[in-house]
Amino acid sequence: MKFWRILGFLLILFSHLAAAQQRPHYAQYNQNNFLLNPAIAGIESYADGRVGYRRQWAGLDEAPRTLYVTAHLPVGNPDFEIEPASPRYVQPRYTRERTLPDAHAGVGVTIIQDQAGPWSQLSMAFSGAYHWPLDDYWQVSGGVSAGVTQHTLDFDQIRLANPRDPVVATGKIAAFRPDLHAGLWVYSPEFFAGFSVQQLVSNRLRFREGDYDWQGKVVPHFFLTTGYQLTLADDWDFLPSLMVKKSQNAPISWDLNLKFSYANNLWLGFSYRQRDALMAWVGTRFAQKFTVSYGYEYPLSVLQSASTGSHEITLGLTLGNRHHYASPRSFW
């Protein structure tokens, strides 16, 4: 009987991983599209670094927790130059005039630690992208990201009626798997559209402990997004965007995002994740090079009765923008 309980637990665990949240959810990916698409690397004329922490489904024991670090910078863009720090604060200059750079490359790195109960992932990937001007208004970029992920099962966190049952493994067992992601991004000063695939290569994920062979499967995840920026009045801008997501054995889902920004120094946004959550986020830029943003999700699923919601905070740093303006060309 205990064997079938264990088998049932693992089937539930791996079916959840195969059909649902193998990749972390993010409330603020539209503030950092590099999390989902390597073609973003180097898109701006400055180096962009972000650190984020997400606590999903607060109030629910062993709910997912995610810590992520991203950084990317342009290569071959003449507007990118890291200058010595100045003790004098320079007020950022907001401008609606955005010019597209010449062809150039970009590089970046992503580190993600994701934990959900006895299951955890630690991944590191390096990205490269190239940006081609189609004309004076449109550009397209393509990027790839390659790295490795350590998948870990901690059997000490699995509590059973008889912890001495010989079927149960003890301690942590881990499996390493190479990762490959790819993406495309088409953009102008007002419009963007992107398509990316994470976990491009699908194969078995195997954990071996003694005579037992625990198996799961890592599957590709597809992301399609688009958005358009509209000028409202004075320094106010409005950016509606849509994200469509699909993974193997899971239905298509989508997010609708609405972002309002003032001189790109203050922003407020709202999102709806199909039949799953309502989201809101707010952020600001300070001391010229730093940003902070907080997002909250209210669950609409059956988890509503068990969770008080999800929280996500992101800190950002930009370096190398010689013109000291606070308006990114690509709106995030």
From CA 230, how far away is CA 237, in angstroms rounded? Answer: 6
Residue 20 is predicted with a pLDDT of 46
Nearest to 156 by CA among 65, 62, 21, 58: 62
Mention every residue, 6+ apart, whose C-beta is less than 8 A from residue 314. Answer: 28, 31, 32, 50, 51, 52, 283, 291, 292, 293, 294, 295
From CA 320, how far away is CA 139, in angstroms rounded? Answer: 22
Residue 8 is predicted with a pLDDT of 43
Residue 208 is predicted with a pLDDT of 63
Contacts 24+ apart (CB under 8 A), 308-312: 308/58, 308/59, 309/57, 309/58, 310/25, 310/27, 310/54, 310/55, 310/56, 310/57, 310/58, 310/277, 311/54, 311/55, 311/58, 312/26, 312/27, 312/28, 312/52, 312/53, 312/54, 312/55, 312/281
Token pair 């665990």 in the structure block, residue: 13
From CA 113, how far away is CA 52, in angstroms rounded? Answer: 11
**What tens digit of pLDDT does each residue of 236-255 get?**
999 999 999 998 778 899 99
CATH topology for 2-319 is Porin (2.40.160)
Nearest to 186 by CA among 223, 225, 145: 225
Residue 265 is predicted with a pLDDT of 86
Check if the beta carbon of residue 261 is closer than 8 Å to that of residue 276: no
Dump the DSSP string for 280-291. EEEEEEETTTEE
Residue 51 is predicted with a pLDDT of 97
**What tens digit of pLDDT does each residue of 319-328 get?**
876 554 444 4
8, containing H or E segment: helix 2-19
pTM of the model: 0.83
Q: What does each of the 332 residues of the chain score in pLDDT, given as a tens digit?
A: 343 344 344 444 444 443 445 678 888 898 899 999 999 999 988 899 999 999 998 877 778 899 999 999 999 887 776 654 444 444 444 555 566 678 999 999 999 999 988 888 999 999 999 999 999 889 999 999 999 999 888 877 776 666 665 556 567 888 888 999 999 999 998 899 999 999 998 777 776 655 555 667 788 999 999 999 999 988 899 999 999 999 877 889 999 999 999 988 899 999 999 988 999 999 999 887 899 999 999 999 877 777 888 999 999 998 876 554 444 444 44
